[in-house]
Amino acid sequence: MSKFEGIFPAIITPMAADGSLNEAAFRQVMEFNIQAGVQGFWVAGGTGESVLLEDEENRRIAEIAADQSQGRIANIMHVGAATTVRAARLAEHAAKVGVEAICCVPPFFYRQSDEAIVEHYRVVAGAADLPLFVYNLPQSTGVEITPQLMQKIQDGVPQLAGLKHSAPYLPYVRDFAKMGLACFVGNCRLMLPALTIGAVGCVDGPPNLAPERWVALWKAYRSGNLHAAQEAQEHASQVADLIQPFRFHAIAKAILSARLGMDCGDPRPPMQALTAAERATLLDRAAEIGLGEVSVAV
Render pLDDT for 154-190 as a digit per residue (tens, 0 to 9). Answer: 999 999 999 999 999 999 999 999 999 999 999 999 9
pLDDT class of 57 with cuts at 50, 70, 90:
very high
Residue type, 139: Q
Please give the CATH topology (third level) of the domain spanning 6-288: TIM Barrel (3.20.20)
% of the chain beyond a pLDDT of 90: 93
Where do the domains of the chain lie?
6-288
Average pLDDT, the chain: 96
pLDDT class of 293 with cuts at 50, 70, 90:
confident
**pLDDT number for residue 110:** 87
**pLDDT number for residue 121:** 98
Asked if the model's pLDDT at residue 1 lies above 90, the reply is no
Closest by CA to 286, choosing from 231, 209, 205, is: 209
